[in-house]
Chains A and B, each alone.
Chain A
Amino acid sequence: MNHKQQSNDGKHDDDSALSDFLASLMDYTPSIPDELVEHCLAKSGFQCPDVRLIRLVAVASQKFVAEVASDSLQHCKARQAAGAKDKRDKQPKDKRLILTMDDLSKSLREVGHFESIDFVYGVNVKQQEYFADNPSTGMDPASRDE
């Protein structure tokens, strides 16, 4: 860590900004309740007596969900705009914005993989179009040697 004089002054400003932010975190109530966040954190081994960190995690998760949701909203609106005819009123469409798996999977793909080992659902969330018994069903007999 550098302890130069110049960066120290800048560090004080950032520290004050950061402490202001952390203080403002206590005013802001995240959508995800504190007990739930604490439970999930404890399940993963994160134990911290500091409430501000728990709020920080809650806010970060809320921001993440909001980003994914807004991305899917844009996909949904783009799909509607592409299929909208000129005669239709746009008003009933606003109420009918539905979060679907297709939009959600597109937004999740943009977010990327998490490096958690048991993140099973991952990014490639899509509807199963058909189900088969084993992976080689329907393949050419020549390529079944693998």
Chain B
Amino acid sequence: MKKKKLKSRRKSNSHSHHEPEPSNPSDFSFNITRVAVAQICKSVGFGRSRVTALNTLTLVATKYLETLARSATSFSGAANRAQPNLLDLINALHDTSLHVGFKGADTLYGDDCLLKSAVLEDLSGFVSSTDEIPFAKPIGRTKERETEGLKPSPGGNLQRGRHIPEWLPEFPDLGNKEQSIKRINGETSWENSNSVLGHQTGEFEEKRDGNNGGKLSKERRKVKFWIKGDKRENLNRFSGNNLFSQSVDEEPEVEHKKSKAKQTLVYRRRKKVQ
């Protein structure tokens, strides 16, 4: 039954480090969280703690943090936003503290402003009443350590814009441009195909800049589509008799013979539905 002293870590520095230095970022963050949790427990009044209990509480605290973050992110995503804001965070706090309960939990989604919520008042009370517990050990060069565990970034064919967060992995290495263009079946990407003007010049991004984009090599008439189908077709039912056909085309790229062949494709379920 292991116990751990929650007293000042300065004195117990020497013999508390039984574990080897953590090799991956998750161990590192876990150890930091454990120190912080131990400090909180000590401030509450515990003098000692069992190691397993401390580890469990650390995991619970981490999960709480992540739950808050996920709820806030999903709230912001539900509102078509990429970055959570204060209101998303307040809703997330509500969600996590519903079990314990707080004042005003019964009229949560009514007309009251979210900013007046009781969880914020509780938090402000907590902040004003509790003394600061500065973190015991200095976290030197945390970010450098974290990036050691991540894959080193290659030269990077594609430049990441600022819209891509740092914590996402790098793009896969595409190799040379020629290698990426040639595919197994001889397919080429649309921008590099012969039907697009200017496919030999410039890079992909340059085409996007202009308003013209890729131009078609030949002038074509405006293409019209109509949908042929039985009058009995019902939106809910399975209607397989829709035909898409082009009205006019200069070049017979879509053969009308093919479209006629498709007419014979009758989905047999349709008869049974009636």
Write the residues of chain A forming the contact surface with B, with a CB cutoff of 8 angstroms: 1-2, 7, 10-11, 14-15, 17-18, 21, 24-25, 28-29, 31-33, 35-37, 39-50, 53, 56-57, 59-70, 72-73, 76, 94-101, 103-104, 108, 110-116, 119, 121, 125
Contact A98 B47 (CB under 8 A): yes
A104 proximity list for chain B (CB < 8 A): 53, 56-57
B contact residues, total (Cβ < 8 Å)? 72
Determine which of A2, A45, A60, A110 lies in contact with B73 in the assembled complex, contact meaning CB atoms within 8 Å: A45
Cβ-closest chain A residue relative to B86: A53
Write the residues of chain B forming the contact surface with A, with a CB cutoff of 8 angstroms: 3, 25, 29, 32-33, 36-37, 39-41, 43-50, 52-54, 56-57, 59-73, 82-86, 89, 93, 95-96, 98-100, 111, 113, 115-116, 120, 122-124, 126-128, 130, 132-135, 139, 142-143, 146, 165, 167
How many whole Å from B93's CB to the nearest CB in chain A?
A: 6
Q: How many A-B residue pairs have CB under 8 A?
A: 202
Contact B84 A61 (CB under 8 A): no
> A33-B139, A56-B89, A111-B100 known; A119 and B67 CB under 8 Å?
yes
B interface majority secondary structure: helix
Contact B99 A112 (CB under 8 A): yes
Contact A101 B53 (CB under 8 A): yes
Contact B50 A116 (CB under 8 A): no
A43–B124 Cα distance when bound, in Å, is: 27
A11–B56 Cα distance when bound, in Å, is: 41
> A21-B124, A53-B89, A99-B54 known; A2 and B111 CB under 8 Å?
yes
> A33-B36, A99-B49, A110-B100 known; A40 and B66 CB under 8 Å?
yes
Q: Count chain B CB atoms within 10 A of each CB in A31, A43, A56 and give the residue with the most.
A: A31
Cβ-closest chain B residue relative to A125: B56
Contact B39 A31 (CB under 8 A): yes
A100–B48 Cα distance when bound, in Å, is: 9
A112–B60 Cα distance when bound, in Å, is: 11
A1–B115 Cα distance when bound, in Å, is: 12
Chosen A-B contacts, 15 in total, with CB atoms closer than 8 Å, are A21-B120, A21-B124, A24-B127, A24-B128, A47-B83, A53-B89, A59-B127, A62-B133, A65-B40, A69-B40, A97-B45, A99-B46, A111-B99, A114-B96, A119-B63
Contact B40 A62 (CB under 8 A): yes
Contact A114 B139 (CB under 8 A): no
A94–B46 Cα distance when bound, in Å, is: 9
B167 proximity list for chain A (CB < 8 A): 42-43
How many whole Å from A137's CB to the nearest CB in chain B?
A: 25
Contact B70 A116 (CB under 8 A): yes
Contact A115 B40 (CB under 8 A): no
How many whole Å from A29's CB to the nearest CB in chain B?
A: 5
A14–B44 Cα distance when bound, in Å, is: 31
Q: Count chain A CB atoms within 10 A of each CB in B45, B65, B95 and give the residue with the most.
A: B65
Q: Count chain B CB atoms within 10 A of each CB in A14, A73, A114 and give the residue with the most.
A: A114
Cβ-closest chain A residue relative to B95: A115
A7 proximity list for chain B (CB < 8 A): 113
Determine which of B37, B69, B113 lies in contact with A46 in the assembled complex, contact meaning CB atoms within 8 Å: B69
> A18-B120, A99-B54 known; A57 and B126 CB under 8 Å?
no
